[in-house]
Each structure stands twice: as C-alpha cells, then as structure tokens.
Amino acid sequence: MPASSLETIVSLCKRRGFVFPSSSVYGGLGSTWDYGPLGVELKNNVKRAWWRSVVHERDDMEGLDAAILMNRLVWKYSGHEATFSDPMTDCRACKARPRADHVFVAQKGRDPKGLVEINAAIAAKELSCPKCGSKDLTEARPFNLMFRTSVGPVDTGDESGLVYLRPETAQGMFVNFGNVLDTMRRKLPFGIAQVGKAFRNEITPGNFTFRTREFEQMEIEYFVRPGEDEAAHEMWIAERKKWYLDLGMRADRLRVREQEKHELAHYAKRCVDLEYLFPMGWSELEGIANRTDFDLKAHSRSPENPDAVGELRYFDQEQKKHYVPYVIEPSAGADRGTLAFLCDAYEDSLVKEPPAEDTAKLRELVESFARSVARREGMDADVKQRLQAAAESIAAGLPGTLPTLIGLMDDAEASKIEVMKKVRGVGEKIAEEHTRTVLHLHPRLAPLTVAVFPLKRNEPRLVELARGIKRDLQRAGLRAVYDDTGAIGKLYRRQDEIGTPWCITVDFQSLEDKTVTLRDRDSMQQERAPLDEIGPTLLARLR
Ligand code: GAP
C-alpha cells in the first residue's frame, strides 16, 4: 500500500539518511531540512533528469546559473517589492497570526477586493480568529516575503546596501534575456532554463519539504512571438506532464488544474498547475504560466522605468520589426518534485503471516492505544477522532493492517500517547520480519543504482571478487556500493527500502563460471548473468 501519511515518509527519510531536520544539534530551526547522503543523490538525480529533458534533449533551450544576490532594482521593477506579500492580522486574544485574505475567503465565501475591504470587515467585527474565534483582530498589514540582507562590511541602516535573497530564479533569466539572445545567436522561439535556490519568508511553512523558506526551483522562461504564446503554453503543459509520467509517476496521482482568475499572479494571462496527490491531498507541484511580455517590458527603459539601461526586445528578421517577446514559464520545485517522487514510489506490504500469539499481543496493545486516545484530555477533537478510528480499524484487521500500523507508529500525534512506545516496541519487531517496504523509484532517480554483496563476508575470494565488481561498475559510471554487513535477505530488504533497483550477489559459482545473481527490486526476480555483461546491461536499462 502507498504511504498513508506524510509522517511515514518523514520517518523513512530520517531513518535511512534522505532528509534530516536542520541544525538538530541545537534543537533545529523550524521547517528547515538538510538532505542526507541518499537525499542529495535523489534530489540531484531529479535535477539532472529535468536538465537533460529541458536543455540537453532540446534544440531550443539554453542553460543559465544567475547569482542569487541581484541589484535591488530587479525586485523593484519586477513588482516584488510592492506586491510579493501576504496580508497578515494578529489575534489580540490568542496571539495567532493568520493570513487575513484566507480568513476573509473562509468566512465570507468570496475573495476580498483588496486590503481595504479586508480591513473594513475586521473593523466591523465580521471576521474572527480561525484559532480561538475572537473578533479582536488587528488591522491587516502586508508582510513582504522577501528575505533582506545587506551588501558590504557595514550595515549603514539607510538601506543603501539592501539586497534580497531571490524569491524566484525567474528574474535572473529575464535580465539575462539579451545576453543569451546575443551570445548564442538565438531566434524565437527559444528558452532559458535554470536550477537554483530561492528564499521566501513563508508565514506558514510545513508539510515537510513541501513548503519551506529555503528551497530549490527548476524554472524555464520560454520566449515566443506574441500570438504564438497560447500554442507554446499548451506544448509546455503536455511536455512537463509527460516528464513526470516518464519518470514513473502514477497517472492517477497527477492532474492538470486551471488556475481561476482570482488566483492568477499580477503578471499572468493564464496559469495551469500540475498537481500531485500527496498524502495531505492534491497540491501544486509545478505552475506553468503565460507571463505575456510583462517581465521583459518591466526591465526595459521606459517612463515607468528610468533606471534600466536599455530595452529587452527582439528584432524579427522575417517581419523586419522589433517587438517584446511573450514568455511561457514552467516553474517547478526541486524539493516538491523530490517529495512527490518519494511519496509515489513508497509501498509497504505484508510478506508473511506472523505467529498468531504475536498478532494477538500486538492487537491488544493497539486496542489499548485506542482506549488511551479516547481518554486523553486536551487533544484536538479531529486528531483524537482520526487516531482512534485508525487504531480501531488497524486492530480489527491485523496482521493484514501491519503496513498501516507502520504509518500510525510514525505519526507525531500518536507518539504523544504513552502506550505507543509499547506498540512500537512490539510492532517494529514484527514489521521488520513480516513486512517489506520498497521505494519503486525510477532507476534514473534512485540514489544508488546497484549494490554488490558477497554471499559470505568471511570468504576472501568472494569479498575480493565482489569489491572488484563494484569498482568496475563505478568506473563504468554507475552509482554502485558494496555491502557485507548482514545476511543476503536482510541486505536485499535494506536496498529495497532506499529504492536501489538492482542487487548483485557473488557466490561460489561466480568464482568458477564468472556469473553472478542479478536481482530486480520490483519483480524480486533473480537471474544468473555473466559478469562482463552486467555493466552494459544496467547502463542500457538506465537510458
Ligand atoms: N517564477 C514563478 C514562481 O516562482 P511559484 O508558483 O511561486 O511561481 C513555483 O513557485 C514552484 O516553486 C512551485 O510550484 C513549487 O514547486 C515551488 N515552491 C514555491 N514556493 C515554495 C516553498 N515555499 N517551498 C518549496 N517549494 C516551493
């Protein structure tokens, strides 16, 4: 079964070295995450697959790596200084700080007509705090999401050295439009692609790496003749959807959603979101917007922009005239994409029945957990109902519901109940022996491509051959590791859990006939393969 909660993924990520809470030796820093040894490989593979698809495999694209710190004027004329903000209100009673526009929409059932209408509703006591219900709310104020810092050794305090950490990579591509056009002698249509960090002081980060304050984007700015923008937009919607599907994402968990008029950013004529069905529901993976000529015009010298040094426009040889191209922007999140691929790849299942007495003991503990939840005071009613219902249905369905129990054991709220410790003690032991967790990652995304094991670690000839095979595979360009720290079955299970598509076992027959056992993660099929064919076979499967 797929991951029933994000906690299951968070727990696997921590346990197996994909993602750790950041600065944990000092108690962490809310909503910031560090990619561990396997996570960095996975995310790099996602970025590499994107780059290959949108730059290397196309003739109409160029890459770029612009600076994170840019002239402050970029953000003045892009509109971010004035508009990249959320309206916030403070609740005087409980000190919560909700987004005022969200409160307005939730309580009035429609969008507000700007800050003025929100504040009129607050003043008339028509809105209440979503946390405690009080109507004692402060006037809503815009809270700019850009992080500020200053350039130079002294902070003069007068904003003369003020710069922002970029909140999107896009502007780096707009301001380099002329450079790329001229140096690469491009004709329309052509695009620029960039991968890099972006920073937003999000009011409500959360859901693991889904929404953070520091994240990576994979963005394309695709420049076209005005009038050809709508067809190019459709082309990119299809291309980008296909990219996720080609990398194995399940079609029933990926959908295209048209943004409604009121959702559109100030620069967009149309925007389509690619959404993924995360454990917390359908959520945006990537936005594909038609930004018209807004950005290139905004950064061109004009009465509205006396600071720009020139005009970002294009001379069309065929039409013998200058104009400002339109731009289509497929903007994806590298962290969000990585999280989606992880959720999509996750599967756990019961592989053999545990002894009846073990199941009975576990059932008793899970039932005791359900009773403790029911008695618990001060717990949010929704959480209480969710935990109790989950525990009761798990208890009734054991041992078939063992994989679901793993999800419950990882649940942060469930961990607050004392008896969960006992559930975990017994449950983890049974789960380890009787369930199988697999990440069915596409081989091109998997952190490791192949793991090589000797059948016996105290047999020097097997160890030497296995290490030699691993070295040869590394030299052939494959991400290969050697492991001899457990029995073969356990080593297979460990590699399944981190998504390694293939394992090789070297045994005594290998010494005689130079063949090895090649095991496939998804089918669990084992085949005997000649040693010298393994490298080329795996490289071909990766292509
Ligand atoms: N240049 C357009 C732009 O930045 P966006 O919808 O704000 O558009 C594009 O962001 C993508 O960047 C999103 O679809 C998401 O994948 C990713 N993203 C945005 N904010 C994020 C955050 N706080 N944490 C993680 N990823 C984020």
Cβ-proximal residues to 106 (8 Å cutoff; 6+ apart), any chain = 130
Note the pTM of the prediction, 2 decimals. Answer: 0.90
Chain segment 167-190, per-residue pLDDT in tens: 999 999 999 999 999 999 999 999
Percent of the chain residues topping a pLDDT of 70? 100
Percent of the chain residues topping a pLDDT of 90? 82
* Listed residue (333, 331, 345, 336) closest to 447, CA to CA: 345
287 lines ligand 1 (CB under 6 A): yes
335 lines ligand 1 (CB under 6 A): yes
Q: What is the pLDDT of residue 155?
A: 66
Which DSSP category does 325 fall into?
P
Mutate-to-test residue for ligand 1 from 22, 43, 168, highest number of ligand atoms within 8 A of CB: 168
208 lines ligand 1 (CB under 6 A): no
Closest ligand 1 atom, residue 336 Cα: 16
4 lines ligand 1 (CB under 6 A): no
Chain segment 530-540, per-residue pLDDT in tens: 999 999 999 99
Residue 322 confidence class, pLDDT cut points 50, 70, 90 = very high
Chain segment 338-373, per-residue pLDDT in tens: 999 999 999 988 888 999 999 999 999 999 999 999
286 lines ligand 1 (CB under 6 A): yes
291 lines ligand 1 (CB under 6 A): no
Closest ligand 1 atom, residue 331 Cα: 9
Please, are residues 83 and 212 in contact by the beta-carbon 8 Å criterion?
no
444 φ/ψ sector (left φ>0, alpha ψ -120 to 50, else beta)? alpha
Using omega within 30 degrees of 0 as the cis cutoff, is the peptide bond preceding 153 cis? no
Q: What is the pLDDT of residue 118?
A: 94
Average pLDDT value for the chain: 94
- What's the average model confidence in pLDDT over 291-316? 97
Chain segment 17-32, per-residue pLDDT in tens: 999 999 999 999 988 9
Q: What is the pLDDT of residue 224?
A: 98
- What's the average model confidence in pLDDT over 107-135? 92
332 lines ligand 1 (CB under 6 A): yes
- What separation in Å is there between the alpha carbon of 332 and the centre of ligand 1? 7
- What's the average model confidence in pLDDT over 246-259? 97
Going along 208-306, which residue ranges are E strands?
A: 214-224, 254-258, 270-278, 281-292
Closest ligand 1 atom, residue 209 Cα: 25
Q: What is the pLDDT of residue 245?
A: 98
User: What DSSP string describes 172-219?
Assistant: HHHHTHHHHHHHTT--SSEEEEEEEEEE---SS-BTTTTB-SEEEEEE
Closest ligand 1 atom, residue 286 Cα: 14
Tokens of 257: 């959603």
Q: How many residues does the chain have?
A: 543
Q: How far apart are CA 336 and CA 524, in angstroms?
A: 29
